[in-house]
């Protein structure tokens, strides 16, 4: 990754839904795969806490678009596609932890599954707790079992999807436009959960590249 400073890019809610994977020219795909593999190998093998801190917080300094240039247009079920989605989840939470915590807590209440435990969330999950949770999920990519980190992200996305959908129901009569935006966000979180679950399966089979 470039060492040149980039002004951090804000991430309004609609930007989360806007980022999608797509096919890229061969050379761009090669760079995306090479950088993802090199980053994962270097950080995991080095295990330097200071380096891990910098990698996790990379988008705080450089902005989410710095990684979008590398990974956003790769297939969802690839290593760069998985890393992109994990960084994007963290960026979305960090952009508005107060709203994210409300959405997550609502999802925990309405879903009634073990996903909160799988994600590793503290209860209740306030703004500070959800920001810390997003950090821990991404940190697990570099310090623990990559498949487990993906599993945690899947559960996180399921809860966020359920929360957004439930909140959309609340707004349907009083603010249809807001309800529609929340519904779209819920769908995006749901699709991200499915994509990351596929990545976890491929990782465990040794075929996530």
Taking only the tens place, the pLDDT of each residue in 110-143 is: 999 999 999 999 989 999 999 999 999 999 999 9
Residue 51 has pLDDT above 80, yes or no: yes
Mean pLDDT of the chain: 89
CA distance 72 to 80: 8
Q: Is 101 exposed, middle or buried (0-12, 13-18, 19+ CB in 10 A)?
A: buried
Backbone phi and psi for residue 43, each to the nearest 5 degrees, phi listed first: -70, -45
pLDDT at site 16: 53
Please state the separation of Cα 119 from the chain's center in Å: 12
DSSP letter for each residue of 67-134: HHHHHTTS-TTSHHHHHHHHHHHHHHHHH-HHHHHHHHHHHHHHH-SSHHHHHT--SS--HHHHHHHH
Residue 46 has pLDDT above 80, yes or no: no
Cβ neighbour number for residue 145 with a 10 Å cutoff: 12
- The whole-model pTM stands at 0.86
Backbone phi and psi for residue 134, each to the nearest 5 degrees, phi listed first: -60, -40
Q: Are 115 and 161 in contact (CB under 8 A)?
A: no
Taking only the tens place, the pLDDT of each residue in 156-177 is: 999 999 999 999 999 999 999 9
Q: Are 130 and 73 in contact (CB under 8 A)?
A: no
């Amino acid at each position: 990754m470039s060492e040149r400073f980039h002004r951090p890019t804000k991430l309004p809610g609609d930007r989360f839904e806007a980022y999608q994977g797509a096919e890229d020219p061969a050379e761009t795909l090669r760079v995306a795969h090479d950088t993802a593999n090199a980053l994962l190998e270097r950080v995991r093998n080095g295990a330097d806490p200071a380096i891990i801190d910098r990698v996790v917080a990379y988008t705080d300094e450089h902005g989410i678009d710095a990684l979008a240039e590398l990974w956003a247009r790769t297939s969802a079920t690839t290593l760069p596609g998985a890393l992109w989605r994990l960084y994007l989840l963290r960026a979305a939470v960090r952009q508005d932890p107060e709203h994210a915590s409300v959405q997550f807590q609502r999802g925990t209440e309405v879903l009634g599954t073990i996903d909160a435990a799988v994600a590793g969330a503290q209860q209740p999950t306030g703004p500070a707790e959800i920001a810390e949770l997003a950090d821990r999920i991404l940190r697990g990519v570099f310090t623990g079992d990559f498949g487990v980190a993906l599993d945690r992200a899947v559960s996180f996305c399921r809860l966020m999807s359920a929360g957004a959908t439930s909140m959309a129901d609340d707004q349907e009569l009083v603010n249809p436009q807001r309800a529609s935006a929340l519904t779209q966000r819920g769908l995006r979180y749901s699709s991200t959960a499915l994509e990351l679950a596929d990545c976890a399966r491929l990782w465990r089979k040794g075929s996530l590249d």
